[in-house]
């Protein structure tokens, strides 16, 4: 059995919309901070057929919808398609009849029949990147299976496997601050994650306030599909490479004010696109706007280094420095009827106590 622990990430410049839906090739670059919690544990073991099971925090088994199960099957098919491209590369490198044993062996690399078990501490579909944590964990587990078979993948290659399940998942393979290089073209490996700085670079915290644990009606997979119907989307895409450069620069130089400016602008811009798309997607609610307003006042009055950002849900992420953390956590815990998660920059998906002889 192989076990992997993985976590969500919070984006400062956000991925919204794909240039190729099936391959989840993003339309723009993005950049996030990998969080250290809440966690997902993915276990994988040989089985008669490929199957997925999921457990709630209280230990009871969750019933996965047909749509959810299909997503894992579809992901595995895409992963095998990707692995087949790696095999082609091997034989192109050595096209002579004297192919080495390893490259011949390469022709058999694929993910076959396993049972995937998911134990998640993350409420799903509230804007806390639960699918990013799940698919980064699955990708890391597949990577470990392949490593035991003799195919050592790089973090960037594992990030491609993660991206095929959930675009933003590729940013949770590595820790610290990670960008998606969207790339160009339509090949399966043309977009991948690249680490900008590791988790020791800047000890930022993310105090997460979830006003509601109710699952959103339109998930981000569908949301991406509607992005291009918004009249604001083309302008958003035009701004993204400049924002990405600014964001990378802010992180490298640990310039919090700059990071705040670019990430708040980008989050509000994404929601403007979502709200003006067809159908309109209203992820934020009154509570989100109330919290944003109060945070703007609080940081002005108390000179706090804190920024707000929201993914596809009403949940507000308050990213702050070590110095501002206690004050922001106190504010968060004072919010009525809200669930609070105190997280910080994390180290990315990693194998837990893996045992041997797992491959069928
Ligand atoms: O990876 P997906 O398909 O769940 O998309 C995530 C989209 C956002 O969370 C809204 C933005 C981001 O970059 O994480």
- CATH number of the domain at 114, please: 3.30.230.10
- For the chain, how long is the longest CA-to-CA vector? 73
**Binding pocket residue ranges, ligand 1, CB within 6 Å:** 11, 14-15, 30, 129, 131-132, 166-169, 220-221, 224, 311-312
92 pLDDT band (50/70/90 cuts)? low
How far does the centroid of ligand 1 lie from the alpha carbon of residue 261, in Å? 20
Q: What pLDDT is stored for residue 109 in this prediction?
A: 86
Would residue 289 count as lying in a domain?
A: yes
Q: Which of 147-151, 156-160, 234-238, 270-274 has the lowest mean pLDDT?
A: 147-151
339 pLDDT band (50/70/90 cuts)? very high
Would residue 358 count as lying in a domain?
A: no
Domain total in the chain: 2
Average pLDDT over residues 314-327: 98
Q: Are residues 103 and 162 in the same domain?
A: yes
Would residue 219 count as lying in a domain?
A: yes
Residues whose CB is less than 8 angstroms from the CB of residue 267 and which lie 6 or more positions away in sequence, other chains included: 14, 308, 309, 310
Tens digit of pLDDT for each residue in 240-287? Answer: 999 999 999 999 999 999 999 999 999 999 999 999 999 999 999 999
Give the sign of the dihedral formed by CA 337, CA 62, CA 34, CA 310.
negative
Residues spanned by the domain of 259: 205-344
Quote the CA–CA distance of 128 and 270 in Å, as a whole number: 16
Cβ(99)–Cβ(255) below 8 Å: no
How far does the centroid of ligand 1 lie from the alpha carbon of residue 278, in Å? 18
Cβ(358)–Cβ(149) below 8 Å: no
CATH number for the domain harbouring residue 240? 3.30.70.890
Beta-bridge mates of residue 193: 180
Closest CA to 115 of 60, 57, 64, 156: 64
Buried b (16+ CB within 10 A) or exposed e, 20-38: eeebbbbbbbbbbbbbbbb
Region for residue 127 given its phi and psi (left: phi exceeds 0; alpha: psi -120 to 50; beta: otherwise)? left
pLDDT score of 357 more than 50: no
How far does the centroid of ligand 1 lie from the alpha carbon of residue 311, in Å? 7
């Amino acid at each position: 059995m192989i076990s992997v622990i993985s976590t969500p990430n919070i984006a400062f410049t956000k991925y919204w919309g794909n240039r190729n839906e099936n391959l989840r090739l993003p339309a723009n670059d993005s950049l996030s901070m990998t969080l250290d919690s809440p966690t997902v544990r993915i276990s994988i073991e040989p089985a008669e057929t490929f199957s997925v099971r999921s457990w709630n925090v209280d230990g009871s088994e969750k019933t996965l919808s047909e749509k959810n199960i299909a997503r894992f099957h579809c992901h595995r098919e895409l992963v095998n398609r990707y692995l087949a491209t790696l095999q082609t590369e091997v034989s192109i490198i050595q096209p002579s009849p004297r192919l080495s044993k390893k490259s011949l062996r390469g022709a058999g690399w694929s993910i076959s029949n396993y049972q995937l078990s998911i134990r998640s501490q993350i409420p799903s579909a509230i804007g806390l990147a639960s699918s990013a944590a799940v698919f980064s964990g699955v990708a890391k587990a597949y990577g470990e299976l392949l490593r035991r078979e003799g195919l050592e993948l790089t973090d960037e290659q594992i990030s491609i496997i993660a991206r095929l399940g959930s675009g933003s998942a590729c940013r949770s393979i590595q820790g610290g601050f990670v960008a998606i290089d969207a790339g160009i073209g339509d090949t399966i490996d043309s977009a991948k994650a690249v680490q900008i700085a590791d988790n020791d670079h800047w000890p930022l915290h993310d105090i997460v306030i979830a006003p509601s644990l109710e699952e959103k009606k339109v998930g981000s997979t569908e949301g991406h599909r509607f992005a291009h119907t918004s009249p604001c989307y083309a302008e958003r895409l035009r701004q993204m490479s400049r924002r990405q450069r600014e964001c990378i620069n802010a992180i490298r130089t640990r310039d919090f004010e700059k990071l705040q400016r670019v990430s708040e602008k980008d989050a509000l811009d994404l929601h403007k696109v979502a709200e003006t798309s067809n159908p309109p997607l209203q992820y934020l609610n009154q509570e989100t706007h109330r919290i944003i307003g109060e945070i703007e006042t609080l940081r002005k009055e108390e000179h706090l280094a804190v920024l707000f950002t929201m993914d596809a849900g009403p949940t507000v992420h308050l990213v702050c420095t070590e110095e501002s953390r206690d004050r922001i956590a106190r504010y968060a815990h004072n919010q009525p009827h809200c669930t609070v998660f105190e997280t910080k920059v994390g180290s990315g998906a990693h194998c837990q106590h893996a045992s041997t002889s797992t491959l069928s």
